[in-house]
Structure 1
Amino acid sequence: MSVAQKKRMMMHDAIREGAIREFARNGLAGTSTQAIAEAAGITKAQLHYYISSKEELYQQVLGDIVRQFREIFFITTSQDDPRQAITSYIARKIRHTLEHPEITRLFAHEIARGGPEMSTHWQTLKVSVEEANQVIRGWIEAGKIRPVDPLLLQMNLWAVTQHYAEYEAQARMLMELPDDVPLDAERLIHEATQTFLLRCGLTDDEETTP
């Protein structure tokens, strides 16, 4: 990779990170290209050299998030051990939520306003969810877990594992944690894991390691 290519890649990464921070905080309508440029550490003129509009950039970021969720989080057909699959899923999701809260907040903000910019991304999400539904149905049919609603199980997993980014201020207040003290990932993972293993009839007599 040439020096120019590396520089361009670094610029795109800076713009993406700056955009995520601003969109997560203010949404699409409340974010200006000036704010994105400042968050990325560049001028507005430099920003417009790399993007045509904030709307196009927002679509790129949404697409990246949906693909990232699919690659990292969704239960896949290769996971035939429900205990390990659920445990691993929860650990990855909570750690990602704590390490990248702006990504979760941006996506939640878009969905909370009805998902008007999601039209080109819903199908990717639906395919991923249906793949996971099939895996969960297979577990049920094989007697590996007790009967559950596969879709609602997934949606409840999302709600619990994303809570600590979407409602971080509330969690910190109730836990009496100052802003400079990180949330205890292991505590959150352990509690969520026990909750969902129990729901699936996988009582955790032996501790599982994410």
Structure 2
Amino acid sequence: MNPARKKRRLIRDAIRDAALREFARNGLAGTSTQAIADAAGISKAQLHYYISSKEDLYQEALGYILSEWREIFFLSSSRDDPETAIRTYIERKIRHGLEHPDSLRLFAKEMARGAPEMGEHWPGLQAAVDEASAVIQVWIDDGKIAAVDPLLFQINMWAVTQHYAEYEAQTRTLMKAGPNGPLDADRIVDEAIQLFLTRCGLAQPGEKE
């Protein structure tokens, strides 16, 4: 990659990260392009060189979040080993959320207001969910896991793995981590894995490694 192209890529990444941060905090309506430019460390004129509008940047942010989640699933997926797939998915999803909470908060904010900007993204999300449901159904049909509702199993995994970033202040208070102290990610990951392995018959209640 030549220096000019690398510089453009770095600026684009800075804009994306700044947009995720500002949209997560203030939503689409409450975020200005000036605030995004300031957060990215560039001028407003520079920002508009890279984006066509705030609304298009918001759509780009939503697409980026969903592509990240899809990538986490496929990195974790194993059609032959459901225990490894579930363990890996849950760990990666939780750690990713703790390291990049703005993505989860932005998506949660969009869902909370009725998802008016999600129109173009629903088909891709539905396709990814259907594909994952098909994998889970194969595990059930092959007797590798107990019968679960493939769709609700996924939704419940999202609820648990995303909670700690979406409700970070509550989590920090209840885990006595303080506003800036490190969260015990290993404890969170281990408990979530145990919960879902038990549900699909791959671990016994109360069983610890």
TM-score (norm 1): 0.94
In structure 1, how many angstroms separate the alpha carbons of the residues matched to 2:202 and 2:68? 28
What SS does the aligned partner of 1:128 have?
helix
2:39 is the alignment partner of 1:44: no
Question: Shift of the alpha carbon at 1:75?
Answer: 8.1
The correspondence of residues 73-112 of structure 1 with structure 2, limited to 5 A, is 73=73, 78-112=78-112
Identity of aligned residues (%): 64
Unaligned runs of 5+ in 1: none
Which shifted more, 156-165 or 46-55?
46-55
Indicate the structure whose relative CO is greater, using CA pairs within 8 Å and at least 6 residues apart: 1
Preserved CA contact (<8 Å) 2:59 2:117: yes
Could you say if the C-alpha distance between residues 77 and 172 of structure 1 is closer, same or farther in structure 2, counting changes exceeding 3 Å? closer
Kindly state the Cα deviation for residue 26 of structure 1 after the two structures are TM-superposed: 0.6
Partner of 1:55: 55
> Letter of the aligned partner of 1:97 in structure 2?
G
Secondary structure at 2:145's aligned position in 1? coil
RMSD: 1.5
CA distance in structure 1 between the partners assigned to 2:158 and 2:75 by the alignment: 12
- CA deviations 1:92-140 (Å, max 9, x no partner) are 0001011100011111111111111111111111111011111111111
> Cα 1:128–1:70, aligned 2, differ >3 Å: closer, same or farther?
same
Alpha-carbon distance in 2 for matches of 1:78, 1:92: 14
Give me the whole-angstrom Cα distance separating, in 2, the residues matched to 1:200 and 1:78: 16
SS in 2 for 1:31: coil
Deviations 1:16-57 (A, max 9, x none): 111010001011111000100110011111111111110011
Distance 1:151 1:34 in 2: 41
Query: How is 1:1-210 mapped onto 2 (pairs within 5 angstroms)?
Result: 1-73=1-73, 78-203=78-203, 207=209
Number of residue-to-residue matches in the alignment:
207
Name structure 2 gaps, 5 residues minimum.
Answer: none
What's the CA shift for 1:158? 0.1
Could you tell me the TM-score, scaled by structure 2's length? 0.94
